[in-house]
Amino acid sequence: MSLKEIIDQLPDGAEEAFVEREFTPAFIQALGFTKDDIFFQFPTGAGPVDHAAGKSTENGRFIDTRRDPYLYVETKGQDKDLAEGQKEYVKVVDQLKRYLLGDKSESVQWGIITNSLHAQLFRKHGKVIYPVTPCLECSDPDGIARKFRERMNIVPRGLTIAIYNNKGGVGKTTTTINLAAALTVLGKRVLAIDFDPNQQDLGDALGLPPSQGQMWRMLTEKNADICESITSYEYKFRSGEKVGFDLILSDAKMVSEADEVGLRQYVKDHSLLKTLESVKQTKYDYILIDVPPNWRVFSQQAVYAADVVLMPARHDNLHSLQNAGMAVTDLLPEIQKGRRRSFGDAGPIPLVVLFNSHPSKISPSLSEIMHKAIEQVIKDGKKKGFNLRPYFYPKWTKGRRDFEMVKIRYMANIAKADFLHTPAAFCSKVAFQQYRKFIKDYLLWG
Ligand SMILES: Nc1ncnc2c1ncn2[C@@H]1O[C@H](COP(=O)(O)OP(=O)(O)OP(=O)(O)O)[C@@H](O)[C@H]1O
Ligand SMILES: [Mg+2]
């Protein structure tokens, strides 16, 4: 029986138990799993998810071993409206995310929510969960299962993170460099991109000269090979051990070639996204993009190419807080629309606001002003239909008002690193520990 026929046979407004029994197992099988690959009410370590699926191996059937789940599906009844933005939708996405981050979920790569009328596919890369498709109406459920299956057949190795805030000087370049360095030390393959051709700070900070038109060619010529634009940065520890990450450096041709209008003729919205496709699939675990402090062609393209956007800000700079809010409520939705129109995917989502250059102590009065300002930004977001709280206070839960922010402290070693042309996360243990903590909290398991 087709999925469409199964749905047609469900009673109108079918309750969760019906959908869960009749539709979801058939849907999971349409994704390429067998009955033996599916387990009902799987304990995730953060509560039971309705269905988990995993491949059976020589050690036994997944239904018996329940080892290394690969996919979670959380089902709701048709009486719950799962159209994007609806209350129930927000609730079930939160629920799925909780399960995907449960203690028993490290191996899980994909998550799905459905009530048989809507379905949405999510990817989990390390600890980062982002939507791969919009929440789709199931007018053609068999087609949707085919689409999800196609997406799940290609598991991209890399996660693309744009580091963006419209405000200048908040630590975008510093964050890009040090995350690249810290991830490298943690054994990850990293590509860092200087996508701020006006300043070229990333290359400068590493003591590397800008490229000579390679990036321009990469973005504007159809058959240009991205590998021609990639260079590497290497660091030698005192022990003699060498580590390094790859780089795409800016080039002056990108600013000298044309003005904003002219640039848009050569460099399309999707140019960077398309360029990175091949290396993202197989070569890198993380692609980090340093974005300029404006909302013009390069920043828009960088965000367009991203899976998630990390937003550095400063506790003492109101604009940087407001801009982070604006990125979530206005700028990202604009890019998401473009990605949906052109590629049918969901587009980039915000990760968190990273309070950079944070002092170890803030006076009570400044702290009060800052939290008040954040509350105002959250209020403004609410008026536009967005909940900004999780980005400013990720540890806040329904039962616990937790004002803890995500921070990288001010450190002389970080400020100094530019002059030494060496990422602080390579040459200072304490700096490395700070970035490592962020990485362990938000990007990587273990
Ligand atoms: N955690 C930190 N501790 C000490 N100094 C820092 C820290 N983060 C950034 N800085 C310093 O602050 C300055 C601005 O940082 P950075 O260049 O990374 O900001 P930016 O957002 O990329 O700026 P722009 O918008 O101009 O591109 C630099 O001199 C950098 O060394
Ligand atoms: Mg910068």
Strand 118-125 and strand 128-131: pairing? antiparallel
Residue type, 418: D
Range of the domain at 310: 159-442
369-406, pLDDT tens digit by residue?
Answer: 999 999 999 999 999 999 999 999 999 988 999 999 99
Q: How far is the CA of 242 from the centre of ligand 2 (A)?
A: 26
**100-129 mean pLDDT:** 98
Residue of 164, 165, 173, 427 to test ligand 1 pocket, by largest number of atoms within 8 Å of CB: 173
Identify the residue whose C-alpha is closest to ligand 1 atom 3.
410
Q: What is the DSSP letter of 58?
A: T
Q: How far is the CA of 96 from the centre of ligand 1 (A)?
A: 36
Q: How far is the CA of 401 from the centre of ligand 2 (A)?
A: 33
Please state, in angstroms and rounded to a whole number, the distance separating the CA atoms of residues 358 and 354: 10
Residue finishing a domain among 131, 153, 175: 153
Residues framing ligand 1 (Cβ under 6 A): 168-174, 196, 199, 201, 293, 356-357, 408, 410-411, 414-415, 418
Please state, in angstroms and rounded to a whole number, the distance separating the CA atoms of residues 80 and 186: 43
In this prediction, residue 311 has a pLDDT band, given cuts at 50, 70 and 90, of very high
Task: Mark whether 105 and 200 lie in a shared domain.
Answer: no
Identify the residue whose C-alpha is closest to ligand 1 atom 13.
169
pLDDT at 86: 94
Number of domains in the chain: 2
Task: Mark whether 138 and 167 lie in a shared domain.
Answer: no
Helix (H) or strand (E) holding 141: helix 141-153
The count of C-alpha atoms lying within 13 angstroms of the C-alpha of 284, restricted to the half-sphere facing its C-beta, is 24
Task: Mark whether 98 and 178 lie in a shared domain.
Answer: no
Q: What is the mean pLDDT of the chain?
A: 96
Task: Mark whether 113 and 177 lie in a shared domain.
Answer: no
Q: Which long-range contacts (CB under 8 A, 24 or more apart) does 136-144 make?
A: 137/83, 138/3, 138/7, 138/114, 140/4, 141/2, 141/3, 141/4, 141/6, 141/7, 141/27, 141/116, 142/2, 142/3, 142/4, 142/30, 144/119
Task: Mark whether 140 and 263 lie in a shared domain.
Answer: no
pLDDT of 256 strictly over 80: no
Task: Mark whether 314 and 170 lie in a shared domain.
Answer: yes
Q: How far is the CA of 292 from the centre of ligand 2 (A)?
A: 6
Task: Mark whether 436 and 389 lie in a shared domain.
Answer: yes
Task: Mark whether 360 and 251 lie in a shared domain.
Answer: yes
Q: What is the CATH number of the domain that holds 112?
A: 3.90.1570
pLDDT at 182: 98
CB 427 within 8 A of CB 413: yes
Identify the residue whose C-alpha is closest to ligand 1 atom 16.
171
User: Taking the complete model, does pTM exceed 0.85, yes or no?
Assistant: yes
Helix and strand counts by DSSP (H, E) for the chain: 20, 15
Q: How far is CA 270 from CA 275, 290, 306, 336, 354, in A?
A: 8, 17, 11, 12, 26
Task: Mark whether 363 and 414 lie in a shared domain.
Answer: yes
Task: Mark whether 134 and 237 lie in a shared domain.
Answer: no
Task: Mark whether 183 and 59 lie in a shared domain.
Answer: no
Q: What is the CATH number of the domain that holds 184?
A: 3.40.50.300
Beta bridge partners of 244: 234
Task: Mark whether 333 and 230 lie in a shared domain.
Answer: yes
**75-101 mean pLDDT:** 97
Q: How far is CA 268 from CA 221, 298, 334, 338, 376, in A?
A: 11, 10, 15, 12, 36
In this prediction, residue 337 has a pLDDT band, given cuts at 50, 70 and 90, of very high
Q: Is the dihedral of CA 289, 294, 300, 306 positive or negative?
A: positive
Residue finishing a domain among 153, 172, 195: 153
Residue finishing a domain among 119, 153, 187: 153
